[in-house]
Chains A and B, each alone.
Chain A
Amino acid sequence: MGHTTMLVLDPENRHYDVAIIGSGPAGITLALRLARLTPFRIGLLESGLLEAAPTVQALALAQLDGDLGEAYFPMHTQRRFGGSSTIWGGFCAVLEERAFLAGDWPIPYTELERWYPAAAAMLELPDNAYRRPHAAIEGTRDIVYKPFYLSPPVRFNEKYGEEIISHPRIDLILGHTCTRLEHSGSRVRSLLLRDSLDMARSPVRLTAGTTVLACGGVGNPRLLQLSGIGRSLPVGVGLMEHPHLYAVADMYLDWGRMQDVVDRQANAVHALQLADRYCVANDVLSFSADFNLQQLVSEPLLGGRREALFTPVSLRAEIAPHPANRVGDSDQLNALGQPLSRIEFHFRFREQAHRTWRLFAEALLRSGLGRPSTLKPSFRLNSGGHLMGTTRMGSDPRQSVVDGNGRVHTTDNLYVAGSSVFPAGGASNPTYTIVALTLRLGDHLATRLGGNAYAAS
């Protein structure tokens, strides 16, 4: 059965110090980090193969209720080595500090920030992606310049595949879907795996000292739910996405004030944001307004003719976690005989879009930095392919699933990596932050399991 297990043909009864389930950006980052820091034996398990296979992809089908279009699944959850990095767009920006200032995260922002340089290196981002992730604009404290830096985009399978495959202490187990974490007390005892293509084959078991879920924003809560872990926790609750509103307004921007701020050297999409403190003071969530540099015109601004950019504006926004947005069981079964995910999700963003745009428009106009148009009266809400918040991080087990280190509250040796741990999703694309948080998790595990000897310098 060469097709199912390319590198570890038979994972049955293997034991690992750390088993990582899922080989997207989170899983690959963690495996490499642990392999570099520690002598641990690592098992990297992946439901898919090196290439996309429709039968395996179908395992990510979901029953949908709400705003995500029919084509959303399984397309947005790629089941193959590299996960959705095989199709991602490469937009990267640091997560906004807003939610940290508002107390939504249980860790200080500096805990995340210090991992961005290493994450930028993994994603091949320019240094400005962490040195100057946003810049103040003369004459206003309400609005900042915060571009999206573009990763080439790094395909994790292509860039890191060889290192993973040839590493003596990483076993890559492809074509096996973890269907259940067997647990007793507060520990995971073993992992039950099914062959993703040959579904008639009997399940196999492997064991690990520590298990990390890196199965994506839907895969992570599903595996907990299917395993009956964390029944007392809000597993699957509070799913977030990023609404994208394309060309939904126009604006003029005073080029005289923008030209020294805009990073023209970098491969970036330029954007303005309401400053984090301004958002907190006005009780509004983060959002980002893209602009382009194509058209310079003359525009009256603040009582003078100015050279101004005239640009369409696209918005990318944060939505609050809503308890009715959730991942749970469908009454339909997948090919492995397990209930499909049922995903209920509504953006609930239209009113917020108008309110936030108005605040942004006020800040822009009052600073004299530019002139915004009104928001189009009707617009389409597009999704970003960013699934977040379904195993949220927090210190209160009634409100969260994992603690500040990513450990499942109820289970000592079980961790979660990926955007499912975000308690607030900001307005920035998640992968840069996923990689940063996963590097942090790698250090935590190295220290916790191996002692200070393995802590990163």
Chain B
Amino acid sequence: MRRRDLLKGAGIVVGLGLTGCTRWVEEERSVDAAMVSLSEQLAELADVRFSASSQGLNSRALYDGLRRSGIISPQRGIDPARLQSLARKEAMIQYQGFYYSPSELALYNLAYLVHKPTLGR
């Protein structure tokens, strides 16, 4: 692995920051810059408002689910068009008085879980 990629991989680990996530993040290490951008995208979305909705959820399972449904990919980051097309088929759910599509909320839950330690600093 080239040094540049290694550094990026390290960046992801730092960015995702959770020891529980390390193993599945490590799997993505070979992936190039877009992965960094996914991490950055998730960091942008992370919000304490999703602490309650993400409680008891497993970040790895969320990650896998969102990947499987094409909402996130290590190569392209978050795909808003995919999120939108799924939202058209999904029943809305309510959370803290606002409507979300389930996939969207899952994404925000993942963002929160992954970046929880860095929030509020």
A residues whose Cβ falls under 8 Å from a Cβ of B: 250, 300, 302-305, 358, 361-362, 365-368, 371-374
Contacts and interface: CB of A to CB of B under 8 A. Distances in A.
Contact of A374 (B80, B83, B98, B104): B98
Nearest to B108: A300
A384 B111 CA distance: 45
Interface in B65-95: 71, 78-80, 83-84, 87-88, 92, 94
A361 B99 contact: yes
A374 to B, nearest CB: 6
B47 A300 contact: yes
B89 to A, nearest CB: 9
25 contacts: A250-B97, A300-B45, A300-B47, A300-B111, A302-B84, A303-B41, A303-B45, A303-B83, A303-B104, A303-B107, A304-B78, A361-B92, A365-B92, A365-B99, A365-B101, A366-B88, A366-B101, A367-B84, A368-B80, A368-B84, A371-B99, A372-B98, A372-B99, A374-B97, A374-B99
Contacts of A374: 94, 97-99
A305 B84 contact: no
A304 B87 CA distance: 15
Contacts of A368: 80, 83-84, 87
Sorted from nearest, which 6 A-B pairs have the closest CB atoms?
A: A303-B78, A302-B80, A305-B44, A366-B87, A303-B83, A300-B45
B117 to A, nearest CB: 19
Contact of B80 (A303, A358, A361): A303
A282 to B, nearest CB: 14
B78 to A, nearest CB: 4
Q: Which residue, A305, A365, A374, has most C-beta atoms of chain B within 10 A?
A: A365
B87 A365 contact: yes
A365 B98 CA distance: 10
Interface of B: 41, 44-45, 47, 71, 78-80, 83-84, 87-88, 92, 94, 97-101, 104, 107-108, 111
A371 to B, nearest CB: 5
Contacts of B94: 374
B1 to A, nearest CB: 29
B22 to A, nearest CB: 24
Contact of B100 (A250, A304, A305, A371): A371
A358 B94 CA distance: 11
A373 B96 CA distance: 9
A368 B92 CA distance: 13
Q: Which of A300, A303, A367 has the most CB of B within 10 A?
A: A303
Contacts of B97: 250, 373-374
Contact of A304 (B47, B80, B98, B101): B80
Given A302-B84, A367-B84, 18 more contacts: A300-B108, A303-B41, A304-B41, A304-B45, A305-B44, A361-B92, A362-B92, A362-B99, A365-B87, A365-B92, A365-B100, A366-B84, A366-B88, A368-B80, A373-B99, A374-B94, A374-B97, A374-B98
A305 B45 contact: yes
A371 B100 CA distance: 7
Contacts of A305: 44-45
Contacts of A371: 98-100
A126 B98 CA distance: 36
Contacts of B45: 300, 303-305
A188 B36 CA distance: 83
Nearest to A368: B84
Nearest to A302: B80
A179 B108 CA distance: 67
Contacts of B47: 300
Contacts of A302: 80, 83-84, 104
B71 A303 contact: yes
Contacts of B84: 302, 366-368
A373 B79 CA distance: 24
Contacts of A365: 87, 92, 99-101
